[in-house]
Chain A
C-alpha cells in the first residue's frame, strides 16, 4: 500500500505560463521515457525478484517515480494556466487542448497516449534490471533534451532535480545488477 504526503518531492513554482513548453514536458509524464512508465516498470517487476535487496530498490525507486509523476504534472499544470485561444494556437498546444483542455493526460510530446509497450517486465531478472538501467539513461537523455529546449529558470530547476534522480537510480540499479550476478540468480 502507499501513504500520500500532501507535498511535492521538490518544489515547483513556475512564474510564467508557456503552452509550448507544456506540450514538450508532458512527455516526461506519459511518453516512452516518462515517469508513469518508470513507476509501472519497477513496481510491476518487483514480484518475481529473488532477492529482498532488489525488491527493496524496485519498490522504493518505483514509489519515488510516482512522486516524479506528480512533479511533472505540476509543471504542466502551472505552465498552462489562464491561456487564451490565441496563446494556445501560437504555442502549438491546440491539438492537446482540443482533447483535454488543460487537464493532465499522460501522453508523449508527439501526442501518443501512454503505452505500456514502452516498458518491460520479465521473469528473467537480469533482463529486467538491464531494461531498468537503460530506462534511467533514456529518461536522463530526455531531460537533457528538455533542458536544451527550455530557457525558463523555474522549469529548469525542477527538471534538473528530476534529471539528477535518474542518475542516482541508475547507480542503485547497477548495484542491484551486481547483487543478482553475485548470487547467480
Chain B
C-alpha cells in the first residue's frame, strides 16, 4: 500500500461517497479500475478476485489505524463494489467460494477441489 498516495487527497478529503462503481473520474484518482468484467473467463475472473481481495484486505488493515482517511475509504468502496460484481459472476460457474453462493440442485460446496488441492486435482491421495 502506497501510504503517501493514500494520505494525499487532492480534494481536501471531501470526495462524494461513490458506491456504484461508475464514477470513472474518482476511480482514476484512487487507482481502482472499474472495468467491466464481461469478457473474463472463469480463470481470469478468479485471478481478478484474488487481486481485488488483496487490495480489500490491505485497505481494511490501513483503515483500522486510519479510519479518518477519506481517500482510502473511497478506494475501499470502489474495491468492494467491483468485488461483489466479480463474486456474482464467478458463482455462475458452479464452484462457489462461499457456501451461501451455492446454486442449483446439489450441494456443490463439498465438491473438489478444496483450496489446498494443487491444480484443482486431489493429487493422487486415494481420495475419490
Q: Are B124 and A81 in contact (CB under 8 A)?
A: yes
Q: Are B125 and A6 in contact (CB under 8 A)?
A: no
Q: Is A3 an interface residue (CB 8 A)?
A: yes
Q: Are A77 and B61 in contact (CB under 8 A)?
A: no
Which single member of B57, B67, B99 contacts A4 (CB below 8 Å)?
B99
- Chain B residues bordering chain A, tally (CB within 8 A): 28
Closest to A67 in B: B57
Q: Are A70 and B57 in contact (CB under 8 A)?
A: no
Q: Is A9 an interface residue (CB 8 A)?
A: yes
Q: Kindly identify, within residues 84 to 121 of chain B, every residue whose CB is under 8 Å from any CB belonging to chain A.
A: 96-99, 109, 114-116, 118-119
- Chain A residues bordering chain B, tally (CB within 8 A): 31
Q: Is B38 an interface residue (CB 8 A)?
A: no
Bound form: Cα–Cα A7–B62 in Å:
23
Bound form: Cα–Cα A11–B115 in Å:
9
Interface residues of A: mostly helix, strand, loop or mixed? helix
Q: Kindly identify, within residues 42 to 83 of chain A, every residue whose CB is under 8 Å from any CB belonging to chain B.
A: 53, 56-57, 60-61, 64, 70, 73-74, 77-78, 81-82
A57 in contact with B57 given A4-B99, A6-B115, A81-B124 (CB within 8 Å): no
Bound form: Cα–Cα A81–B96 in Å:
26
Closest to B65 in A: A175
CB-CB under 8 A from B58, the residues of chain A are 168
Bound form: Cα–Cα A79–B70 in Å:
44
Bound form: Cα–Cα A8–B66 in Å:
27
Q: Kindly identify, within residues 141 to 185 of chain A, every residue whose CB is under 8 Å from any CB belonging to chain B.
A: 168-169, 172, 175-176, 179
Q: Is B64 an interface residue (CB 8 A)?
A: yes
Q: Are A172 and B65 in contact (CB under 8 A)?
A: yes
Q: Are B64 and A7 in contact (CB under 8 A)?
A: no
Q: Give the interface of A toward B (CB within 8 A).
A: 3-14, 53, 56-57, 60-61, 64, 70, 73-74, 77-78, 81-82, 168-169, 172, 175-176, 179
A sample of 28 cross-chain residue pairs with beta-carbon separation below 8 angstroms, ordered by A number, consists of A4-B99, A5-B98, A6-B96, A6-B97, A6-B98, A10-B54, A11-B50, A12-B118, A13-B119, A56-B65, A57-B64, A60-B60, A64-B57, A70-B115, A74-B115, A78-B123, A81-B124, A81-B125, A82-B124, A82-B125, A168-B1, A168-B58, A168-B61, A169-B61, A172-B64, A172-B65, A175-B65, A175-B66
